């Protein structure tokens, strides 16, 4: 019987779209793309998600690669990006329905220290019963350790959990640990149908 639903955060609970975030800090789409492509470099962000690189150090390395006219925008973007990640439409309503059903909700996310220090500014986190951020344990998905850390931290039974993530590789890792998984494709209604099917099974 499913009693717990574990969610990824970015592009599952809230939308993580670097170009959309960057548009809040510059005057045109071309500059937004340049800011996003330069500042949200996947390999280095992965190191930040592991907790090995801090945002200040990252900014000092990356901002000089941009035209000087964008330096201030880049500084503001790196300092405030997490205020500009909107909720996925319909997700809040789904979380409330799950809680009303008595289901416990958890977050398991690859995320940097800066976000971990400020996540309370995002109101939807109030709906969750627990969370694990990769940066706090120096371990990212799809490594087994991050899944097992959450299971142990909250004394969960793996067979009573479903994990929802937008990346197939992360779901496959969960399934290997006997945690049921669902690849989220942006369709909240379809996710809701799936979750209530497995909960009521």
Going through the chain in order, the beta strands assigned E by DSSP cover: 4-7, 104-109, 130-133, 161-165, 180-183
Question: pLDDT tens-digit profile of 37-76?
Answer: 999 988 889 999 999 999 999 999 999 999 999 999 999 9
pLDDT at 41: 87
Backbone angles phi, psi at 7, to 5 degrees: -115, 140
Same domain? 30 vs 48? yes
- Distance between CA 118 and CA 112 in Å, rounded? 10
pLDDT at 201: 79
Same domain? 68 vs 92? no
Same domain? 193 vs 127? yes
Same domain? 132 vs 78? no
Q: Which of 160, 142, 140, 143 is nearest to 151 (CA)?
A: 160
Q: Is the pLDDT of residue 95 over 90?
A: yes
Cβ atoms within 10 Å, residue 136: 13
Going through 49-137 in order, the beta strands assigned E by DSSP cover: 104-109, 130-133
- Distance between CA 113 and CA 122 in Å, rounded? 15
Same domain? 37 vs 9? no
CATH of the domain at 195: 3.40.50.1000
- Distance between CA 66 and CA 68 in Å, rounded? 6
Cβ atoms within 10 Å, residue 36: 20
Q: Is the pLDDT of residue 163 over 90?
A: yes
Same domain? 94 vs 22? no
Answer yes or no: are the C-beta atoms of 141 and 135 closer than 8 Å: no
Query: How confident is residue 136, by pLDDT bands cut at 50, 70 and 90?
Result: very high
Most confident of 4-8, 40-44, 113-117: 4-8
Domain count, the chain: 2
Query: Is the sign of the CA dihedral 88, 82, 11, 26 positive or negative?
Result: positive
The Cα-based distances of 192 to 5, 110, 182, 185, 198 in angstroms read 11, 23, 11, 12, 10
pTM of the model: 0.95
Same domain? 101 vs 174? yes
User: What is the extent of the structural domain holding 66?
Assistant: 18-83
């Amino acid at each position: 019987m499913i009693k717990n639903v574990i969610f990824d955060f970015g592009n599952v609970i809230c939308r993580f779209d670097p170009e959309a975030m960057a548009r809040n800090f510059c005057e045109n789409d071309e500059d937004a793309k340049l800011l996003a492509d330069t500042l949200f470099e996947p390999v280095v962000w992965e190191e930040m998600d592991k907790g090995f690189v801090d945002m200040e150090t990252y900014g000092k390395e990356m901002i000089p690669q941009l035209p000087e006219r964008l330096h201030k925008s880049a500084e503001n973007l790196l300092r405030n990006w997490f205020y500009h990640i909107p909720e996925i439409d319909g997700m809040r309503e789904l979380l409330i329905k799950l809680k009303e059903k008595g289901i416990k909700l958890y977050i398991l996310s690859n995320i940097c220290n800066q976000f971990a220090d400020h996540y309370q500014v995002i109101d939807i986190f109030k709906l969750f019963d627990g969370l694990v951020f990769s940066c706090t344990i120096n371990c990212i998905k799809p490594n087994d350790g991050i899944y097992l850390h959450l299971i142990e931290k909250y004394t969960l039974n793996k067979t009573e959990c479903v994990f929802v993530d937008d990346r197939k590789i992360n779901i496959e890792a969960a399934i290997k640990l006997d945690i049921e998984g669902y690849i989220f494709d942006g369709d909240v209604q379809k996710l809701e149908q799936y979750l209530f099917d497995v909960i009521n099974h």
